[in-house]
Amino acid sequence: MVELTKSNNEQIVAEASAGFDIDKALNTTGFAAFLAEYHDAETVDMKNGAEVEKRLEVFGAMEKVKTEMRSIFSAEIQKDMGLSLGPQELAAVDKHIMEIAIRDTGEFLKLNDRIKKFRELPIQNSAYEDQIASIGKSADLKILLEEKRATRETVGTARKYSGFGGTARYGFMHLKMAFKGMINIEETLMSKFSEGYNPGNDYKQFTAEWDQFQKDRAAVNSYQEKYENVGLDSRKMDNILTSVDGDIKEIENLLESMTNLEELKKSVGTSFDALKKELVGGVAQISEVREAIQNYAADQLLKMVNSDSFETRKEAQKLLEKWGAASGTTETGIDPLGKINAVEYQGKIDKAIQNRASEIMMEKVLAADLGTNPLTKMEKVLEPFLAEEKLGSLGTKETKEFIAKSIKEVAGNLGTENANKIKKMMLARILAKIQN
């Protein structure tokens, strides 16, 4: 995170702006030279204190704005294209910022405000994340809330049935009476079962009655285990209910706070993305940067295609794909492949990779001394190519077909000596295995 500290210029301007005085401002180190850059330098109204003060503010912010925009542009170009801006391009960024200031002082000051906001939003977002983390996990809070609500229901039921006795034990005595028919249900159901009862068409009804009975009995048992033997009078139960109600309200408030914080965090993220897009898009206006990127991409790809290194030629394919993707996704507005015909370059890369692959296979096969275990040794020679999943723009299937075709061509170019005959046989066996 870039720390928003005051630059030397900002400090000077802050001192000059205190009880603003035109004479004091004009004597500020470097300010007169800065004013001379304006197109109206010779005609500017030196009685217009507001205009001079505004330009003094621009002068104070200039170096920080340049630094920030160089950082923002460089980071985005590096992320999207894997390229670094050199001194010449960074100087062009500085020139671009200066041009904005001279052309439209108000626009420059808006840019300065946007940069400050751009740096502040991640800090704000991090603060929301910390607050959310301090509350806890939403899932855990929801589980705790359900537990508290269950306790509230259980104690509330005991309180409801406590009657004149005023105790939980007395309440559950009444509660058990409410389920007094359960024993009869159980006896009836078990009687049917013990008599070899064949439910037939009544099977669904039978199982439903049995399941409901088990649930009812489990509920009463649960109440009894928790509270029947605990000496809670009505006053203590009221205290428990008050405490539990307070816990429930607190958890509900925490969940609501978490929801609000998540919404705020989302809003900050949306604002940051929009601001970043607005700031980063400005780099496309700098022709020197755009030209440098496009020239580098074209020169680099051509250099890699013409390299003798097989790996370098494969790397050219990766870069073409990377820069092609950046063309449609980067927020800079710069197409790194803007100076080349991507389809034509793809053809060049494919040809370069395939030609070099064929050459290397021929060189390795010719140089191979098979001796004992000839098949294993030949497979070792061709192993790097047999393992290839992608060559240039070829997919897996097409790559395998190309390798097979190349092996056939290599075998066809071998002589008729016994050593070469052995090599041909080994190559034929490898082809049979990969084409199986």
Which residues, given as ranges, of the chain have pLDDT below 70? 1-19, 161-207, 209-210, 213, 216-217, 219-232
**The predicted structure's pLDDT at residue 40:** 84
Which domain-ending residue is among 103, 138, 158?
103
Which domain-ending residue is among 73, 103, 133?
103
**The predicted structure's pLDDT at residue 2:** 32
Which domain-ending residue is among 54, 76, 103?
103
Q: Per the domain annotation, does 237 fall within a domain? A: no
Q: Per the domain annotation, does 131 fall within a domain? A: no
Task: Tell me how crowded residue 321 is: count the other CB atoms within 10 A of its CB.
Answer: 13
Q: Per the domain annotation, does 224 fall within a domain? A: no
**The predicted structure's pLDDT at residue 66:** 94
Q: Per the domain annotation, does 256 fall within a domain? A: no
Q: Per the domain annotation, does 41 fall within a domain? A: yes
Look up the domain containing 391 and give its range.
287-434
Token pair 């306790």 in the structure block, residue = 151
Q: How far is CA 48 from CA 15, 36, 93, 153, in A?
A: 20, 16, 31, 76
What is the total count of domains within the chain?
A: 2
Q: Per the domain annotation, does 334 fall within a domain? A: yes
Q: Per the domain annotation, does 194 fall within a domain? A: no
**The predicted structure's pLDDT at residue 240:** 83
Q: Per the domain annotation, does 274 fall within a domain? A: no
| Structure tokens given for 331 | 């927020």
Rounded to 10°, the helix 374-386/418-434 angle is: 50
Burial class, 18, CB count within 10 angstroms (exposed 0-12 / middle 13-18 / buried 19+): exposed
161: helix, strand or coil:
coil
